Amino acid sequence: MAEPKTKATAASVDDYIALRASDAQKADCKTLMALLKRVSKAQPKMWGPSIVGYGSYTYTYESGRSGEMCRTGFAIRGRELVVYLIADGKDQEALLRQLGKHTMGKSCLYFKRLADLDIKVLERLIVGSLEELKQRYG
């Protein structure tokens, strides 16, 4: 069985942001880092080469395959930023409708800049995601 590519590393979060982020993204990354650190109560750590993650949890699939992943985090993806969160359920879906200009994948919230979002709604989405992960995985 293949090893997961996304694992916690000792790489520098500051170096990642300095190398990948535009000037505008650097300011947004600083704001995201403060928000994610506060709500997760965890220090940032690089996960793989491109995810700034906070906390961790262990998952196991029905197949028996298991792994570890950050509870929440963000990444710089070209012109967009991505926040990793779970947005399942009616409460989370209602918050997404209030959030502002974004697109949502399975667990990836994409946006161009924080100014396009309601930061209080984003915080509630992240808190809800962390609560959901705690219920699912402890």
Domain boundaries, the chain: 13-137
pLDDT of residue 138: 81
pLDDT tens for 73-126 read 999 999 999 999 999 889 999 999 999 999 999 999 999 999 999 999 999 999
pLDDT tens for 20-65 read 999 999 999 999 999 999 999 999 999 999 999 999 999 887 888 8
Q: Which two tokens stand for residue 97?
A: 């409708």
Which SS3 state, helix, strand or coil, does residue 22 take?
coil
pLDDT of residue 67: 86
Mean pLDDT of 120-136: 96
Question: Which CATH number, 3.40.50.10310, 3.20.20.70, 3.30.230.10, 3.90.1150.200, labels domain 13-137?
Answer: 3.90.1150.200
Distance, in Å, from the CA atom of 11 to the CA atom of 8, rounded to the nearest integer, reads 9
Question: 29 CB contacts (<8 Å, ≥6 apart)?
Answer: 17, 21, 52, 74, 76, 81
